Amino acid sequence: MRSETTPNTAQTHAVMSDAEAAAEARRIIADAYRPTAYRDDTPVPAYGHTPPVAQPGRPPMSQGATDASVLMLTGGATTAMVGGTAAVLMYVSQFADPVVCGLVFGAPTALVLALARLVKRAKPAPDVHHHYEGPVYQDQRNVHTTTRGVWAKTTNQQ
């Protein structure tokens, strides 16, 4: 009785030579270790910095432009929220005075804008680096100043 086999069954018995088995093993290993990512092998510049690459999201711009755009976006959102709240309140109450609503809902916005200006001006002190050549003597003292009384008397102590 002759056994017929198809290529899809596990009963396929193929006799391979050692050279064919080695070639098949190399092919299987090469398929298993084929890279799944692409590496860009273009040469980088010979000197200087690598050129910047635009990332997805906001377009590249200076730090000042980025800060300004974020400030404009938050200001627009704040204005929309305050205006929407005032509109809903006037519609629901049916007799709310628009001037009073403008004052009540505009005051927090003005406060936020004033605080934003203060925060913008409050920058940390810059790092100071001194570079000297030769012998240098540095005298660092802490002076405590106290001012008291209606007629001020200032006392400096080291």
Averaged over 51-74, what is the pLDDT? Answer: 81
115-137 per-position pLDDT tens digit: 888 887 777 777 888 888 888 88
Averaged over 86-106, what is the pLDDT? Answer: 79
Q: Which two tokens stand for residue 58?
A: 């906001």
Residue 105, class by beta-carbon neighbours within 10 Å (0-12 exposed, 13-18 middle, 19+ buried)?
middle
Q: Give the list of residues 6+ apart from residue 145 with CB closer than 8 angstroms, or none.
A: 154, 155, 156
Poorest-pLDDT segment among 13-27, 41-55, 65-79, 121-135:
41-55
At 1 the pLDDT is: 46
Phi and psi angles of residue 12, each rounded to the nearest 5 degrees, phi first: -70, 120
At 149 the pLDDT is: 72
The residue extents of the domains of the chain are: 63-120
Averaged over 79-90, what is the pLDDT? Answer: 83
Of residues 85 and 21, the one with the higher pLDDT is 21
- Strands 144-148, 153-157: pairing is antiparallel
Torsion of CA 109, 111, 114, 116, to 10 degrees: -70
DSSP β-bridge partners for residue 154 = 147
Rounded CA separation 84/90 (Å)? 10
How many CB atoms within 10 Å of residue 82?
19
At 25 the pLDDT is: 92
Task: Look up the pTM and report it.
Answer: 0.31
At 26 the pLDDT is: 92
Rounded CA separation 149/146 (Å)? 10
7-34 per-position pLDDT tens digit: 554 455 568 899 999 999 999 988 888 7
